[in-house]
Structure 1
Amino acid sequence: MPGLVNVLVIVAVIALVVVRQCSARRISGDRRWWVLPGILLVMALREPGLVDRDHEMLSVVILGAELVVGLVTGAGWGWTARLWRGEDGSLWSKGTRATAYVWTGGLALRVALYGAAAALGVHQGSSALMMALAATLLVRSGVLALRAAGIPASYGDAADRAPFRQAWKDRV
């Protein structure tokens, strides 16, 4: 029964992530978009069991395939998101139907890799999943940052008006 509960929790979390990514979300101008994926990557590398010692070669091949799936999913996720500037000059992002397809395809490939590993007797720990998630988030954030840099600031951008507002506050 706990295995079924774990599967249901994983499906619920994935559904929540997909729904959140398909709703409009404001993108901050934070230049540290790589920090969270970096932390996940370090945590994954510190955990024992990244590679199954009984099946080292197969484990490394499956881990490499998992990372490739993560990279492709992250790139697809970043390129399929819609980006635009709000009236106040802030940058917004919203996943599209294609984003949901990318997520579904990435999930199906991960399930297939997990099934192949299980059929071959290769043990995969949570660190492999964490590393693939870090790769996904890193590439997605990088692609969004790259795309966001190409979107011109709107006329009367909030950043352009900030000095005026500050000067107005100083006079009052």
Structure 2
Amino acid sequence: MRRHHLQSGFTLIELIIAVSLTVMLLLTASALFMTFLISGAKVNSTQLVKQEGQHALIQMEFLLRNAIELLPNSFGDECIADMTEIKFRSIDGGETTLAIEDDGGVDKIASNSGVYLTSGAVKIVNGINFTCTQNSDESHPHISISFTLRKGTPGLDPTRDIVQETFTASATVRSL
């Protein structure tokens, strides 16, 4: 007479397969979670850079468009190409200078009003550029503004870790 043994439990191969499948599922889930976190951070950084750049452009355009006259800046330049700062008389009669200013080791776009147009959350790359053109008939000066903002520091994957955008605008001084 033969005895039949009922096997209770799992074989070694069944356990290895079950553990392997569980590990693969957990790795896939954690990779998806990390992807969502990284892409969310990239979206937030992109929004911050765009918001800061647009705010600075709008403010500078408004100030320049409503300027009464252009004045020589600290380099003695009034209306030439490739200026790093521009100076003008505002509607209120005060003199305003737009330039890059060092605020505790962080470069920011500033006017002499004491309010910075960009924050320390973004970095200005290669400064700011004002290009002023004016016809020989002393018409209203046309000023182009250009600057690049960056958020993030280079890491293993620069395309993922850095958000950089160039902002350009132009304004014609119409109050002259």
> TM-score with structure 2 length normalisation?
0.31
Structure with more helix by fraction: 1
Structure with greater contact order relative to length (CA < 8 Å, sep ≥ 6): 1
Structure with more strand by fraction: 2
> TM-score with structure 1 length normalisation?
0.31
